[in-house]
Amino acid sequence: MLIFTLKRLLSLGLSLIAASVAIFFVVEIIPGDPARLMLGINATQDAVDALRTQMGLDQGLLARYWLWASGLLQGDFGISYTYRVPVAEMVQGRVWVSLPLALYALLLSTLIAFPIGIIAAAKRGSWADWLVMGGTQLGVAIPNFWFAMIMVSILAIKYGLFSAGGFPGWDEPLAALKALTLPAFVLALPQASILARVMRSSLLDTLSEDFMRTARAKGRTARGAMVHHALRNAMIPVLTIIGLQFSFLLAGAIIIEKIFFLPGLGSMIFTAITQRDLIVVESVVMLLVFAVILVTFLVDITYALVDPRLRRRA
Amino acid sequence: MSLLEINGLKLAIGAAEILHDVSLSVDAGQITAVIGESGSGKSMTAYCVNQLLPRGARTKGNVQFNGQNMLALDESTLCQMRGKDIGMVFQEPMTALNPVQTIGAQVAETVLIHGAASKPEARKIARDTLNRVGLPEAEFPLSRYPHELSGGQRQRVVIAMAIALRPKLLIADEPTTALDVTTQAQIMDLLKRLVQEDGMGLLLISHDLGVVADVADHIVIMRKGKVVEQGATAHIFKHMQHPYTKALFEASSHKPDREAKPQDTPILEVKNLIRDYTLPRKSLFGPAPKFRAVNGVSFTLKKGESLGLVGESGCGKSTLTRAILGLETIQGGSISINGVEVKAGHTVPRTLRRNMQVVFQDPYGSFNPRHKVARLVSEPFHLLESPPKGEARKAAISEALTAVGMHANDADKYIHEFSGGQRQRIAIARALIIKPELIILDEAVSALDVSIRAQILDLLAELSDKLGLSYLFISHDLSVVRAITDRVMVMKSGEIVEEGATEAIFQTPQHDYTRALLAAAPSLEDLMQ
């Protein structure tokens, strides 16, 4: 298990290096000169050149990559081209909205998906199964911006149960949680629908395995066999999906952030791209990549904890 | 009153009638063997006893166990009896254990479910039971996982789970079918010993007469959901009445008539063949360890000859086959096909591969279910430079199909429309279509029922007579190899330990390993005398 973890860590490091190189060079390829853009079309070439030197844009690609990458390691994300403030500061405020929102949505998604997925598999072919299959189909199909607006107009505006938008900050934890609940729920619904379906089909596969029959022959009840033997074996595909969903939730919430006026990473990166604030784009994308790679690493470790056969391979 | 008495048992699943009026009995301390081919309902009869039936199953009749009618009991009573009064052992040891739990936990589970002991006591019972089934603590601590064990060892764990609470009745559903001959003999001995020690009744389900014949006290022959004949083992062997029983015995020891005489020219020559596999690295640095699956194997296969290759799983026979077929690169020695030599570091090229075809074991898994038979059978055409097109192609497909006893019209059907035996015929047709000189039969009849197996063996004999084919016949089943080959090689740990004319090897084996194999293999002929 130790060797397995070390190997996964090594691969995590290599992925990060590869990702940073890819992100840096792809962003560099995008046409347009940030200095020219900041100063406007009427600026003199001298002024633009001076700014380029100041921003370090006149140096070679490799040198710039090294500056950027070594800065990242020390927590120095560079200075935003547009706002002239450290990117790290800009990101910090945003991460504490996006990360809790993603975790919250993931928690809701799992809490909804696990029970209904398990019930659907256990009562395969029954009305409960039909209901779950139909409901999740709908959950995947409903566009979440529309669903968000419906939720806002009913739960927030009509009944005032949740706030309709905005974020009060973490100084008031309860109010912050209340502000995140509705967006998290809206984000969680399609994810939960997918997860419930994966849970159901993975569990159904496991239920038809030979060792389930062995468990019954030992005297386990149908439910006991499900709890003690099927669930853990059915977890591998479910974990895979959870890992993918977390990555998506962290960065994929732009529309929901807009609807609920949440100052998250998604809306920040969107603005940065339109302003050609490359250093912000690079840094935020790198941060997201880091999060995804970290989640993948954690999922890999969990695989090995769940299934002893995977510990030997790496 | 017997321990288990089944009277007039009927079983239907949905609209299909599976069992009609089955009656049999098992006494304490005795072994009753139920023999039948696939679809005979033998396994379903067993599942009726502990009521582990598929959904929608309806039963009628009487299954009297220990004074209770099992068909009348409710589910919670049945759960209390399963594992405690009735243990069960399954066919597939590789999949019968939960892969994510230790063997200790799984054996102890039987005890814990029934509240028969506390956790530490249950672990102690698990340890004792594993010792009893031949898995001593030093090598097999409770913390082992199933994937760390071989098939035979896993089957011992399954048996340990079944007998942990010393049940009155043990049901074993094809317990040795997936195992090697020597392992099979050991497992049968173990079951027999446990029956004697615990005074358990054993209901043994099998398709193989040879396996059960020398352990069973009582034999029940089933066919299409009915019992056709039953009686004491010795009596059945001497005075079998029913024609099906006789046919079953005949088919089990069937020897096809072969007339083909091997010529002197070799078709295949293998010299000092070496095949290494790279294993996963043990440490992060240093070279990856290697496993030598085939170690210096040499042999010659003549035109028109049928050569057998026997050995247990893991001995390297499949690796050897893949190297000959050109699916893998060889690391040492050479392979010559029709005099053209392929040296170490190379793979057998396509031009040579068209002289050979292969038929695999699994008639279900070796076909793409979405293609029609015509396309499946004509697959080897890609080995030819100018494969026949249009009418010529159709003619070739019909010729191949008719040669194996199928109809030319079958070309337009899909593979799921055929039975296991028919599929194996189609697999042979696929091998024949480019008119190869050598066919490699990799456990080609192992998955078939005895009567179907007899037909396929006849077909193979007929084809070699007619077309002058050479066979390399790979099997773990010694009786089949004896029936169809001229010469036989015995393989162990990547090496050929003995080689010679088939009858000579079977009658006077020289190597210890060959003797052990032959001793372990059940032989009906000996029992009949």
What does the pLDDT average to over A24-30?
79
Q: Model confidence over B166-205: pLDDT tens digits?
A: 999 999 998 988 788 888 888 999 999 999 999 999 999 9
- The span from the CA of B3 to the CA of B68, in Å, is 10
What does the pLDDT average to over B28-41?
90
Q: What is the pLDDT of residue B283?
A: 64
Residues of B in contact with A308 (CB under 8 A): 99-100, 145, 147
Whether residue A134 sits in one domain with residue A99: yes
Q: Model confidence over B292-309: pLDDT tens digits?
A: 889 989 999 999 899 999
Whether residue A298 sits in one domain with residue A184: yes
Domain boundary among A10, A38, A73: A73
Q: Which residues 204-243 of chain A have a CB within 8 Å of chain B?
A: 209-211, 213-221, 224, 228-229, 232-233
* Residue A126 forms contact with B (CB below 8 Å): no
Q: Model confidence over A222-253: pLDDT tens digits?
A: 999 999 999 999 998 999 999 989 888 887 77
| Contact: A312, B280; criterion CB under 8 Å | yes
Whether residue A122 sits in one domain with residue A54: no
Using a CB–CB cut-off of 8 Å, the residues of B that contact A are 50, 52, 75-76, 79-84, 87-88, 90, 92, 95-101, 109-110, 113-114, 145, 147, 158, 161-162, 280, 284
In a domain, A163, yes or no: yes
Alpha helix stretches (DSSP H) within B218-348: 233-239, 243-252, 317-324
Whether residue A116 sits in one domain with residue A45: no
Of A7, A211, A216, the CB nearest to B82: A216
Whether residue A61 sits in one domain with residue A13: yes
* Spatial CB neighbours of B167, under 8 Å, sequence gap ≥ 6: B83, B84, B85, B86, B87, B200
Q: Which CATH number fits domain B259-280+289-348+438-529: 3.20.20.10, 3.40.50.450, 3.40.50.2300, 3.40.50.300?
A: 3.40.50.300
Structure token pair of residue B286: 């240093």
Q: Model confidence over A158-176: pLDDT tens digits?
A: 887 887 788 888 888 888 8
In a domain, A134, yes or no: yes
Residue B55 has pLDDT above 60, yes or no: yes
Whether residue A119 sits in one domain with residue A188: yes
Residues of A in contact with B76 (CB under 8 A): 221
Can B4-252 and B259-280+289-348+438-529 be said to share one CATH topology?
Answer: yes
Q: Chain A residue with minimal CA distance to B76?
A: A221
In a domain, A228, yes or no: yes
The shortest C-alpha distance from B95 to chain A (Å) reads 6
The whole-angstrom distance between residue B203's C-alpha and the CA centroid of its chain comes to: 20
| Contact: B161, A218; criterion CB under 8 Å | yes
* Residue pairs spanning A and B at CB distance below 8 A: 79
Whether residue A274 sits in one domain with residue A132: yes
In a domain, A81, yes or no: no
Whether residue A102 sits in one domain with residue A44: no
Q: Model confidence over A113-160: pLDDT tens digits?
A: 999 999 999 998 899 999 999 999 999 999 888 998 898 888 888 887
Residue B342 has pLDDT above 60, yes or no: yes
Whether residue A67 sits in one domain with residue A104: no
Q: Model confidence over B112-156: pLDDT tens digits?
A: 999 889 999 999 999 999 999 999 999 899 999 999 898 889 999
In a domain, A84, yes or no: no
Whether residue A208 sits in one domain with residue A242: yes
- The span from the CA of B467 to the CA of B226, in Å, is 41
How do the domains of chain B map onto residue ranges? 4-252, 259-280+289-348+438-529, 363-435
| Contact: A209, B95; criterion CB under 8 Å | yes
In a domain, A105, yes or no: yes
Q: From residue B464, how far is each of A132, A216, B119, B259, B302 by CA, in Å? A: 59, 49, 62, 9, 13
Q: Chain A residue with minimal CA distance to B106?
A: A215
| Count of structural domains, chain A | 2
In a domain, A284, yes or no: yes
Whether residue A51 sits in one domain with residue A148: no
Of B95, B99, B109, the CB nearest to A218: B109
Domain around A198: 89-311
Q: Which CATH architecture has domain B4-252?
A: 3-Layer(aba) Sandwich (3.40)
Q: Model confidence over B482-518: pLDDT tens digits?
A: 888 999 999 998 899 999 999 999 999 999 999 988 8
Residues of A in contact with B114 (CB under 8 A): 219
Q: Are A81 and A39 in contact (CB under 8 A)?
A: no
In a domain, A78, yes or no: no
Q: What is the pLDDT of residue B284?
A: 60
The shortest C-alpha distance from A207 to chain B (Å) reads 12
Residue A30 has pLDDT above 80, yes or no: no
Q: What is the pLDDT of residue A314?
A: 43
Q: Could you tell me the CATH number of the domain that includes residue A275?
A: 1.10.3720.10
Q: What is the pLDDT of residue A157?
A: 85
Residue B285 has pLDDT above 70, yes or no: no
